[in-house]
A and B are shown apart, each in its own frame.
Chain A
Amino acid sequence: MKEETRKEIRQKMADYRQPAPEVSWDVLEEALAKNKPARKVPMWPKRVAAAVAVLLLAGLWWQTLKLGNQTNMENTGTEMAQNQPSPTLEKQGNNEGDLAGAEDSRSQSAGEQPETKLIQIDGQKMEKQNPTAGKSILPVGVSTDPETKEQEEDANPDEVKQQVTGNPSQESIVKPHQQTVDDSKQENKTPPTRQRQQTVYPQDIQRGGVRMGKKLTAKVYLSNTLAGGDFNAGSGSVNTNRQSSSVMPMSNPISHDSNGGYFLLGGNPPVTNVQPPVAESIHHSQPVRVGMSVRYPLSERWSVEGGLSYTYLSADITRQVNGNVSKTDQQLSYVGVPVNMNYTLWGNRHLSVYASAGGTVEKMVKGKRTTKDITDGTEGPAHTESVSIRPLQLSVNGAIGAEYHIDQTLSIYAEPGVSYHFDNHSTVPTFYQDKPVGFSVNLGLRLNLNR
C-alpha cells in the first residue's frame, strides 16, 4: 500500500466517532477512587511530625527531670543515696526494649539499683536515650490516635506519670534534706530547669568553654548526600512497569512516541518477553542542600536544633521505545524544616564532638522537566513542563558531628550522617524514592549567640 493511501485512510478516520456503549460507572468510580489516597497522604506526615514533636518534648521533659534529680543528689551528697533504690536505670532498660511497656515497669522497677551507679553511668545513659526516641518515632506515630490533640493528651498523662511514679525514689532520697525544692517541683513544672541553671557543675568547670551553656546558636550549612551502598546504583535501568501489576503493560503507552510498543498479554510469552516496550534509565545527581538553623541548649550536653533547608535534586531520565529515545532533565527544589536533638559527647576549648538525631519535613516547591525526543538520531525540540509533588517528604537522620570553635562566637563543623527518606508515594521518580537510605556530610558555619 502506498504511503499516501495509508495517510488518507488514517485522516479520513481521524475524527470518526461512534456512540459509546453503556458503561458501569460504579466500576469506573471504584477504579478512580483508588487514585484518591495520594491526596490523603499529607495527613500522615502531620501525624508523624506531631509524634516527633511530642517525643522530643517528652524526651526533653524526661531529661530535665533526670538532670534536676541528679543536681539534687550531687548537692545532697551521694553517701545518702548509696543504699537507696533508683527506678531511673531500670527505666532506661525498658525504654530501649519497649517504649509502650515502659510505663508499667516504671512503677514496678523502683528499688533495685544503687544510686551511685546512676551517677557514674549517667553519660552513657543519656546517649542511649536519644536513639531510643529516634527508633520510636514511626511506631508511635502510627499507633497513637490520629488527632494531634489526642496524641498530646495521651502524652501528657505519661509525662505526669514519669513525674509522679518516677520520683518516689527521688522523694525518698531528697525529702529529708530538700523538702522545699521537691515541693516546688511538684507544684510547678518549670522549676527543675531553673534550678539546674543555677547549679555549677564540676565537670563544666573542667571542660572550660566548650559547654553550650546558655547560648542560642545559629548555623548555616551545606550538605551533599551520597546514596547508600554503591552510588552507581543511583543510575540504573528500570522497566516502566515498575508500578504496575502483572496485568498492566498498558502503562507503557505513556511513551510519547507514536511507534510505542504494543504487546499482547498472556498466551504467547515469547511475544511479551522479547522486548520490553519502554526502557527507562534514571541517573540521579547528588542532592545539594544548603540551610540555616538555630540551636537551643537544653543542658550542658543536650540541645535541640531547628531550621530551614533548601535542597536541589536533579536527574537525567532516558526513555527508550523501539529505538526512539527521549532524554529528560528533571530538576526539583525542596524547602524543608529539620528538627534535631544534639548530644555533646566530648569537647575541650576548641573542639567538640556530638551526636545528632532527628527528622526533616520537606515540601517540593518547584520542579520542572525538560524533554528532548531523539528520533533516528535527530534531536527534536525541547519541551518543558512543570512537575509537582503534593505529598510532603519525610525523613529521619542521625549524624556524628565535629565542631571547631574558631572563637567564642564562631565555629565550623562537619557532620557525617545517615538519613532515611520515607516513601511519599509520589509518581515522580526522585533520588529520595530510588535511594531512600543516604549518607550525607553537612558542612557549615555556626554562630553562637549569647542568649
Chain B
Amino acid sequence: LHFFIGNKEERLAKRLQGGENDALRDFYALYADYLTGVCARYITDDEDLKDVFQDSLVQIISHIKDFRYRGAGSLQAWATRIVVNQSLKFLKERKQHDLERLNWDVADEEEEEDPPVRDIPPEVLQRMIRELPTGYRTVFNLYVFENKSHQEIAQLLGIQKDTSCSQFSRAKNLLAKKITAYNPTKQHKS
C-alpha cells in the first residue's frame, strides 16, 4: 500500500513542479483538510487561520521544487513542516506578546499524571488543545506533535529551556483538567 501512496505522492510532486493546475487541485483534495487540522492547533482565530493556511499553500507551491521525495508520506511531512513554520512565523509576528509571556509567566506546578487521552475523540482533543493559551499551546504542539526537545523549542521561541519545560508541564496539567472534566460529563451523558 505504501508503495502506491508513495508513488502517487512522487508523481503529484513532479506534476506540481511542472506547474500543472490539475495537480494543484489534487494536492488540495488530498492534503488541505489534514494541513488545516495542523494549522488550527497553532492558530485559533478563524480569519487568521485562513490567512496562514493560504500563505502556507503559497509557500508549498512556490517551493515545491525544493522538495525531494524520500518515501511514502514525505510530501505530507514536508508540507506539514511548512505549515508549522508559517504558523510560528505568524505567531512570532502577531502574537509576540503571548510568546514573550512565557519568559516571566512561569508558575511552579506540581507534576500531575499524564492526561487520560484514550477515550477522548480526536475532534474533542483538538478543541481542548486550541483552548490552551497561545504560549502553552505552542510549546505543547511543538513538543508532542513535532517531536521537539525542550532545547529545540527554547531555541525556536527564544525562551529558556527551563521555561519550555515548565510551560509544557502547565499546558499538560491544564489539558488533563479539561479531560477529567470531560470524561464524567461523557459518562454522565451515557
B-binding residues in A (CB < 8 A): 1-2, 5-6, 8-10, 12-13, 15-25, 27-29, 31-36, 38-39, 240, 243-244, 248-254, 256, 258-260, 262-268, 270-271, 274-275, 322, 371, 383, 385, 427
Contact = CB atoms under 8 A, between A and B. Distances in A.
A5 to B, nearest CB: 4
30 contacts: A1-B143, A8-B118, A9-B117, A9-B145, A15-B34, A15-B122, A16-B37, A17-B37, A18-B126, A21-B49, A21-B50, A21-B53, A23-B32, A27-B58, A28-B57, A32-B20, A34-B62, A35-B64, A36-B19, A244-B66, A248-B59, A250-B82, A253-B81, A256-B74, A264-B157, A264-B158, A265-B89, A265-B93, A266-B93, A383-B71
B33 to A, nearest CB: 4
Contacts of A29: 21, 24
A427 B54 contact: no
Contact of B85 (A10, A16, A250, A371): A250
Contact of A18 (B36, B82, B157): B36
Interface in B71-123: 71, 74, 77-78, 80-82, 84-86, 88-89, 92-93, 96, 114-115, 117-118, 120, 122-123
Nearest to A259: B147
Given A243-B66, A385-B69, A19 B33 contact: yes
Contact of A262 (B20, B40, B144, B156): B156
B143 to A, nearest CB: 8
B11 interface: no
Contacts of A28: 24, 57-58, 61
Contacts of B66: 240, 243-244, 251, 254, 427
Most buried by A among B16, B54, B71, B115: B54
Given A251-B66, A256-B74, A262-B85, A35 B17 contact: yes
Contacts of B21: 29, 32
Interface residues of B, number: 72
Q: Which 9 A-B pairs have the closest CB atoms?
A: A253-B81, A36-B19, A17-B33, A20-B32, A256-B70, A5-B114, A21-B50, A251-B66, A35-B19
Contact of A13 (B50, B69, B122): B122
Nearest to B62: A31
A23 B53 contact: yes
Contact of A17 (B36, B46, B50, B59): B36
A38 B17 CA distance: 9
B64 A18 contact: no
Given A253-B78, A264-B85, 13 more contacts: A2-B114, A8-B117, A17-B36, A18-B36, A21-B46, A28-B24, A32-B20, A250-B82, A250-B86, A251-B63, A259-B148, A262-B146, A267-B92
A266 B144 CA distance: 25
A21 B158 CA distance: 30
A260 B81 contact: yes
A27 B158 contact: no
A439 B24 CA distance: 44
A23 B52 CA distance: 11
Given A20-B35, A262-B148, A35 B74 contact: no
Contacts of B62: 31, 34-35, 248
Given A35-B19, A268-B92, A21 B68 contact: no
Contacts of A25: 24
B65 interface: yes
Contacts of B35: 20
B133 interface: no
Contact of A22 (B50, B88, B123): B50
Contacts of A35: 16-19, 61-62, 64-65
A71 B179 CA distance: 102
B12 interface: no
Contact of A16 (B20, B24, B122, B156): B122
Contacts of A322: 152
B67 A13 contact: no
Given A12-B117, A427-B65, A262 B33 contact: no
B15 to A, nearest CB: 10
Contacts of B145: 9-10, 13
Contact of B144 (A6, A19, A20, A27): A6
B144 to A, nearest CB: 5
A256 B156 contact: no
A31 B61 contact: yes
A13 B61 CA distance: 25
Contacts of B137: none
B155 interface: yes
B114 A249 contact: no
A305 to B, nearest CB: 36
